[in-house]
Structure 1
Amino acid sequence: MTMKRLQIGTSGLSASEISLGCMRIAGMAPDAVDTLLKTSWEAGINFYDHADIYGGGKSEEVFTASVKRLGLQRSELLLQSKCGIRSGFFDFSKEHILTSVDKILTRLDTDYLDILLLHRPDALVEPEEVAEAFETLKQSGKVLHFGVSNHNPSQIELLQASLPMKLEANQLQFSITNTGMVDHGLNVNMEIERSNDRDGGILNYCRLKKITVQAWSPFQHGFFEGTFLGNPKFPKLNEVLEAMAGEFGVTPTTLAIAWILRHPAKIQPIVGTTSPERVKQVALASEVALTRPQWYEIYRAAGNTLP
């Protein structure tokens, strides 16, 4: 099996089209982490997503220890981390960004990050200060490329106006049951709830600006309310997923990721599973090509209606 690759923005980075998110590995036993990473690597995943708040930083340390035990080479890995969330507030100050990156690099035991994302919008952001921090990190070689997470178009434009480099990625919530990014585009100018544009058209904006959308929590419904797979709250969706998965000879887990990959925006799912078996199922999505009718059938099965 060969995992397909995609370019992150215009960075030139050749990343696996599916990423392993490392948010939940902090409390895992060393041998379990080794199995998880080894499985992901053998499945063709080379892109690993972190954040300084995951496990209070321990997730990055656990990941690093496993990489060393497995003998994986840093040059073959693409490492992304995020900063900006602090206890009770958000912080995009130059001092915090620079300090955060130094700590991230120490925990990951690396000289550089392939990508740094600003985790959640800071209402007190000063774009010029962010620009100074990014320029310092770029010139020092500590960060090669930059992006954001959970930002809308105007927030990205505000930052980009001061930045000397292009923002290459935007990490956003997206799954079969969290489809706000496409709902309003299918219900334009209608006096219904699904017509409301709550994100400023972020999906089309990112496509136009060649910013890679990374989908976090691709199996979750609501805001961390649990997975929709096998969930009795979504009987029709699971019925359709089971039936269609049988046609492809895969599992509903595979199909849930294939549904995201089918979108022409070339969205990169960030899969935060700790199950090696689920990693194998997820990786198979790179080989599943849904037709347009199949994509819409899954969309409607999740309770979405078309005008």
Structure 2
Amino acid sequence: MHASQTYVNLSFFQPPAFLMIGIPGMETIHGWISIPFSSMYTVALTGNCLILLAVRRTPSLHQPMYYFLSMLALTDVGLALSTLPTTLAVLWFDQRLIGFNACLVQMSFLHSFSVVESSVLLAMSFDCFVAISNPLCYAVILTNNVIIRIGLAIVARATLSLFPVPFLLKHLNFCPSKVLLSHSFCFHPDVMRQACADITINILYGLYVVLSTVGIDSLLIILSYSLILHTVLGLASPRERLLALNTCVSHILAVFVFFIPVITVSMIHRFGRHLSPIVHALVAYVYLVVPPVLNPIIYSVKSKPIREAMLRVLRGKS
């Protein structure tokens, strides 16, 4: 009995660290690739921080719509910061090693912020629906207390959904020869496939998380916009219809910017293993970096109040 237990302990292996590739096949030009990546991270952090400051310093923006936008901006900052340290370390300094536990922590934050972003976009679709279908009761339905509860529920949902993932990985046996990650960050499908063990439970739980968060959220967003469209078509004049739809244009673009890459990366990881590693890497970067970059641009272009408030922040005016 004791000998058997000793054998199990000796045969169980967890790597002290993983080795990150970066962008496969382009290792020799990582220095050049770091320029657009550094620019995108700068735009993402600057743009989203400007939105947060603009909403905070502008009393007229203290409304549910802009509170939800602040949640989205804060989530995008978290999503960018989750991958920035390791990505730039690989591209700038060729620092490819990441400790096993540090990898699990990064992975947890990365996927948690993704779930939070999906949930915030769902909350914003509900905000659009209430604003268009019942504008007279908008302020009564979406009070500050309701918004705070929605925010807490979003964080709790992401935390509880992702909490088991690192523990499931900690119980896997890894091979000393399989410690090479396909990205410059820790991505759950990538990490679990380095194991030399049955990962069926990990795959099923990962699928459950995707379907119960992003899957349900996307369906509910489609339902919300079906109801919004039904309401808009019932308005009397074309001008009223256009004005009503215009209030949600920014959100619609943000939904496409987030959900199309999410769905693409999920499909590729499950059905596109035959594709080139560079395709997997680029799609993952689009999924994680592009939404934080584009969301501030979308809202600053499409929303005049946000654009003017951001310009006042830049000029140092309150």
Q: Could you say which TM-score interval applies, normalised by the shorter chain? A: under 0.3
Normalising by structure 1, report the TM-score. Answer: 0.22
In our comparison, the structure showing a higher alpha carbon Rg is 2
Normalising by structure 2, report the TM-score. Answer: 0.22
- Higher relative contact order, structure no. (Cα contacts within 8 Å, ≥ 6 residues apart): 2
Normalized per residue, which structure has more helix? 2
